[in-house]
Amino acid sequence: MLPDAVERLNVLVEGHRIASIGAPDSARADEVIDANGLHLLPGLIDDQVHFREPGLTHKEDLHFATRACAKGGVTSFLEMPNTKPTTTTLQALDAKLAIAAQKCHVNYGFYVGATPNNLEVLQAATRTPGIKIFIGSSTGDLLVDAQPALERIFAETTLPICAHCEDETTVQANAARLNGGSEVSDHSLIRDHKAALIATKRSVELAERHRHRFHVLHVSTAEEVEFLRGTSDLITAEACPHHLFFNVDDYARLGTLIQMNPSVKTSADNEAVWRGLLDGTLEVVATDHAPHTLEEKRQPYPKSPSGLPAVENYLALLLNEVNRGRCTLSQIAAWTSAAPARIWNIQEKGQIREGYDADLVLVDLNKTQTILNENQLTKCGWSPWHGETLSGWPIRTWVMGRTVFADGKVIDGVRGEEIRYCRVNT
């Protein structure tokens, strides 16, 4: 699986790098893997996860989450700042990176979170892919909704920005109209199409006016997809599995297990988000992996928290769609590897290319397996796709040239490395 084509050839890895593509059969190697009938993909880069460490490690932590990554073919992740403490200072960012160096089985990076009052931090941060803004409800001081603060962030920083886009005024008005909601289906009425579209338009207007690179996280509506078709090259956007595969009709079956922010929408929105991916309007598929314990999730709405685990299964979900004819392996490689590497300026990752890091995943399109809660490696120990049988699974994963998952098991001694970024002017 090369940057934009599927070819039959040999890949030679030396140390942590891809040394040769198309190496002769006579090339000498310490280990030779017969991948006949299988496909080699660049390791996935999940650019939107919540791994809960520090502060919320009863739900998830970097050890368990990155074991799940390895099993799922994810070789690098970028994690969001809404931990405890939030990642809104350079000290908090450095502390996360230090923990990750000791615990992560795959490569790691952490966003710096914007607040109304930490502009100097956003200007000084370097060991980060970019800035995360919550334009909509969040925890602690991470909500940035006032226009003057947003103007300064877009005007006076240079790192790429991404945002959770749901208009706080609209969400609060909907909640008041519904008295806070009494059942989980109300969640999609409170966090409705209008809330998503207003905030996405507002953010894109800021980015285009200030000529600042901006990435729209977890697009959930047909209206957003249509709007994003007319934006400039400064704007990129992504989809998440729950907005591709779940909709309001699934509340009857899954209830609060699929409660998410932004909320799941309609089946028509599912199809629109798929169309956005297939026509290039949306460039990335990321998980928004946000686990909670089953006890927490099963609380009656609105006490139930939003978020679900996905990092372990999202490659298999996409491979299943290849078998169904909806998308191709080349598209998956673009959405999950090449595009996030480009958008976040990640050095030497995201493609099977000579000189690039040997972050790789071997997949078997013919392997059929059922997702079961009891087999999940994520610390929360459940999946909203429990009981679903998929065709197409990762069977071996390499991080920096070292096998981290094979024969159904994670190799616990392997550690990932801090992701490197190539800084460009925005």
Q: Provide the annotated active-site residues.
A: 288
The tokens of 139 are what?
């925890």
Please give the DSSP secondary-structure letter assigned to residue 3: T
Residue with structure tokens 């240079």? 158
Contact 238, 286 (CB under 8 A): yes
CA distance 118 to 121: 5
CA distance 135 to 118: 16
Crossing angle for the helix pair 147-156 and 193-209, to the nearest 10 degrees: 40
Contact 92, 84 (CB under 8 A): no
Contact 131, 421 (CB under 8 A): no
CA distance 164 to 155: 19
Specify which residues 69 forms β-bridges with.
none
Contact 133, 150 (CB under 8 A): yes
